[in-house]
């Protein structure tokens, strides 16, 4: 499990630890870890050209002390001193070790261009908002250079507590983060700029509170996934009801049912109008199908969870069926058109049984009234707010999928591929997560594990090339096999 914290949580822990240690101990620990990571990336330290981008804060001090350690090993280290002030002790140690100042203006740019490795120590976890000059220009120069950049704690320009990026930000090949991961390293767009993340233990562990954000690993998901026992039958393995599709959108029903079947549901009961009924019967003879001549679920049979909404339409018929689903006493997953209907009548969510909603940013915008761009810029804030305001579990889909439930750390999902941004893949996710609900997982775990499996299935289906939604559904068993067949640290 990858746990992460806000800047305020990290600073509070650092203050507690620093009160118990000699002055400068934490910075020396951080610098040692940073220097070791830089040396590994360089391969050969002696004679290498390292350029430090040094700001006014402790990040600049970490970079200077690490530069001193590299200089003692024979690296040619130059520091671009960009801040209005510089960490005095760090600069003194750096110069005594043979480091040099690179100068400003064109000289700084030339130093960056000639580097074998760039160390970004411009701003740290306390910074927020857009970078200003000269930091803005140095970040752009680092991004344009051929050499890789190692970021200290977080890439400059990335908000450590949210992952927000306003304007230019450093694009790191490696981020060496001190004490604990920062939330902004797990959530896009910050996560996309962090590169690989290496954690340096500086002793904060005993002083850290409950995490702000959690990222599940493959081993975590494997431990949560339901597995059939010797005495299992189809009813004990979970019966999921799917109300999806319409005569216009028949494929949504096929994909949602497929996701549920292939994610391990013991039985899928599908209910819908004649068009999608015919398609579901053709593609999935395993499903128990009920054709609805009128909007009534009487006779569909007992289920342990419902999936409702993909391709359902938003007219009177769809609303009547949705109302009946929400009147049940089992967990319900609402997606797509179901979310549009709920956005019109939020009172529909006033039920005792659990609800998992799976919006993309546009759908969450309709549910909450926040702008789509606002949601994309700060996914954590808006997912948390919606979970608290609506009283549901929110799975917000996107480049970083987040799962928020009131009173619990937000879970972020790091699997997946950009190729998943194609029609129908969300319908598959609904079926997968719905199957997990029917097998007994709560909304928080079903959403988190469903997102992980869906992303991993997307990678398997894609292998670096375009995919289609049916291929993602077909790859779900392979994703489960990969997780449960061996331990994983993805």
Distance CA 95, CA 68 (A): 7
Distance CA 479, CA 451 (A): 12
Residue with tokens 């120069």: 141
Q: Which of 139, 198, 197 is nearest to 170 (CA)?
A: 139
Distance CA 430, CA 473 (A): 11
pLDDT at 472 over 50: yes
Q: Average pLDDT, whole number, for the chain?
A: 94
* 261 CB-side CA count, 13 A: 19
Give 76's strand partners. 49
Give the model's pLDDT for residue 375.
Answer: 93
Q: How confident is the model over 63-77, as a mean pLDDT?
A: 98
Give the model's pLDDT for residue 84.
Answer: 84
pTM of this structure: 0.91
Q: How confident is the model over 317-334, as a mean pLDDT?
A: 97
pLDDT at 348 over 90: yes
Output the CA torsion sign for 281, 287, 293, 295: negative
Sheet holding 393-396, edge to edge: 181-182, 2-5, 213-215, 410-413, 401-404, 393-396, 355-357, 332-334, 305-308, 239-243, 267-272, 288-291
Q: How confident is the model over 162-184, as a mean pLDDT?
A: 95
């Amino acid at each position: 499990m990858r746990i992460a914290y806000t800047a305020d949580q990290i600073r509070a822990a650092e203050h507690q630890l620093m009160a118990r240690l000699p002055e400068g101990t934490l910075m020396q620990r951080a610098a040692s870890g940073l220097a070791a990571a830089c040396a590994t990336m360089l391969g050969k330290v002696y004679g290498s050209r390292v350029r430090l981008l040094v700001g006014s804060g402790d990040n600049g001090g970490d970079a200077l002390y690490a530069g001193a350690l590299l200089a003692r090993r024979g690296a040619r280290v130059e520091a671009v001193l960009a801040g209005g002030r510089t960490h005095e002790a760090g600069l003194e140690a750096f110069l005594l070790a043979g480091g040099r100042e690179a100068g400003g203006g064109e000289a700084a740019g030339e130093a960056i261009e000639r580097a074998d490795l760039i160390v970004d120590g411009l701003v740290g976890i306390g910074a927020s908002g857009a970078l200003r000059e000269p930091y803005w220009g140095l970040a752009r120069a680092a991004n344009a250079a051929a050499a890789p950049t190692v970021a200290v704690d977080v890439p400059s320009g990335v908000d450590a507590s949210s992952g927000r990026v306003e304007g230019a930000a450093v694009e790191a090949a490696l981020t060496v983060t001190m004490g604990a991961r920062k939330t902004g390293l797990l959530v896009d767009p910050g996560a996309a700029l962090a590169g690989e993340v290496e954690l340096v233990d500086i002793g904060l562990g005993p002083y850290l509170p409950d995490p702000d954000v959690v990222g599940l690993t493959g081993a975590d998901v494997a431990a949560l996934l339901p597995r059939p026992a010797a005495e299992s039958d189809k009813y004990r393995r979970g019966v999921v009801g799917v109300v999806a599709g319409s005569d216009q959108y028949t494929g949504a029903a096929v994909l949602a049912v497929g996701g549920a079947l292939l994610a391990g549901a013991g039985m899928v009961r599908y209910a819908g109008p004649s068009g999608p009924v015919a398609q579901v019967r053709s593609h999935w003879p395993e499903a128990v199908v009920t054709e609805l001549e009128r909007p009534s679920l009487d006779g569909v049979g007992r289920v342990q969870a419902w999936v409702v909404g993909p391709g359902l339409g938003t007219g009177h018929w769809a609303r009547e069926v949705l109302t009946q689903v929400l009147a049940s006493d089992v967990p319900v997953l609402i997606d797509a058109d179901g979310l549009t209907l709920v956005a019109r009548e939020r009172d529909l969510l006033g039920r005792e049984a659990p609800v998992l909603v799976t919006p993309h940013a546009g759908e969450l915008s309709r549910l909450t009234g926040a702008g789509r761009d606002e949601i994309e810029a700060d996914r954590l804030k808006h997912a948390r707010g919606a979970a608290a305001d609506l009283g549901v579990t929110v799975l917000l889909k996107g480049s970083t999928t987040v799962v928020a439930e009131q009173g619990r750390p937000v879970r972020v999902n790091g699997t997946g591929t950009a190729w998943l941004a194609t029609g129908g893949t969300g319908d598959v996710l609904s079926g997968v997560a719905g199957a997990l609900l029917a097998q007994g997982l709560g909304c928080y775990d079903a959403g988190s594990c469903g997102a992980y499996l869906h992303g991993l299935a997307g990678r398997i289906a894609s292998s670096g090339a375009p995919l289609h939604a049916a291929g993602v559904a077909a790859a779900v068993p392979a994703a489960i096999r990969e997780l449960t067949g061996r331990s994983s640290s993805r």
